[in-house]
Structure 1
Amino acid sequence: MKTAVALTLALACMAGSAAAQDAGRTATYGEIRLSAGFTPDPYTVNVQAGGNVNGSNLPGACTGYISTAPDFEVTYSAGSFPLVFRTLSSEDTTLIINGPDGRWYCDDDSYGDGDAEVRFSRPQSGTYDIWVGKFGSGGTAPARLLITETP
């Protein structure tokens, strides 16, 4: 009985932390529809990275502090190109993306020098909800989100 109660509590905690990130909310810095071959490439958006929600509570290897609502939303019509999301900031930033398949994709530092990159080699058509996180103890920092099909 104790095991069943512990398992139920653990599942409830996981569901509650993932539910804090609501991809259905209006993105703070806007949204765009892009199709394969879009221009300009990269498409850039200025955002404030960070927030008061610990991204490590999400499934996967997510890290960084983020806001509740997505920072930006991309509805993408896929073709033969990869779809790549990157951050640029003087602070250590992370990326947390809820893809069209409902899965969470996360990164910290793959773009080098404290910047993040999430690459979809064979992207799906659909909506990508993007959170730009700030590594560390929270707060916010100016950042730029880059969306590109160029490696």
Structure 2
Amino acid sequence: MKYRRPRHHFRGSWMVAITAAITATPAIAATSHFGTFSLSPGFEPAAGIVTGHTGGYYSLSEISRRDRDRNPCVGFADPQPDHILKLEKDFDRLNIQVNSGAYDTTLVIQGPDDKTIRCGDDTGTNKDASFEDKNFKSGTYKIWVGTFNPGMRRNYTLTVQQK
């Protein structure tokens, strides 16, 4: 008896699934490259300092073209956030700064819900990104540190200060 390959009625459906998977926009993960840190009002300054490095080809404008104040969201990073910040209580005002040694960095902050986006770019004459805003509600914030050119790897320190 000669072996015959079974015929499937779903011929080509696997190709559709593969094509869909390749062309899908990457999902934003609930984990981060450099970990999670938590802050409560009155935190020690050292608790608001974390480090990491930039790098990636994902356009941060895919998260949002503009933030809630109409600031442009620009730069390139990885689709996965660099840091996750958990605010244990509400903060009246926070300042978030990147220090990469004056390379041209950008900042995207998403939280405490997926719709609230804050974006930062140059700080005065410094090319490093920063963002200061009021009314940070308790919750989880995803933070991306990007660069203007895709794939640029720069070490940085991210500092969160209570104002």
Using the size of structure 1 for normalisation, the TM-score is: 0.77
CA RMSD, Structure 1 to Structure 2 (Å) = 2.0
Instruction: Report how many aligned residue pairs link the two structures.
Output: 132
- Give 1:57-136 correspondences, 5 Å limit: 57-59=62-64, 60=66, 61-79=72-90, 81-90=92-101, 91-102=103-114, 103-110=116-123, 112-136=125-149
Contact 1:36 1:81 in 2 (8 A): no
Distance of aligned partners of 1:80 and 1:128 in 2 relative to their CA distance in 1, 3 Å threshold:
closer
Task: Return structure 1 stretches of 4+ with deviation > 6 angstroms.
Answer: none
Any idea what SS the aligned residue of 1:38 has? coil
Deviation of 1:41 after TM superposition, in Å, equals 5.2
> Does residue 141 of structure 1 match 2:154?
yes
Structure 1, 26-35 or 133-142: larger mean CA deviation: 133-142
Q: 1:85 is aligned with what amino acid?
A: I
Structure 2 unaligned regions, length at least 5: 1-23, 67-71
Q: 1:44 is aligned with what amino acid?
A: I
**Greater CA radius of gyration, 1 or 2?**
2
Q: 1:129 is aligned with what amino acid?
A: K
Identity score, percent: 32
Any idea what SS the aligned residue of 2:113 has? coil
Contact 2:123 2:130 in 1 (8 A): yes
Distance 2:50 2:96 in 1: 11
Deviation of 1:132 after TM superposition, in Å, equals 0.5
Distance of aligned partners of 1:104 and 1:146 in 2 relative to their CA distance in 1, 3 Å threshold:
same
Any idea what SS the aligned residue of 1:70 has? coil
> Does residue 48 of structure 1 match 2:59?
no
Contact 2:39 2:48 in 1 (8 A): no
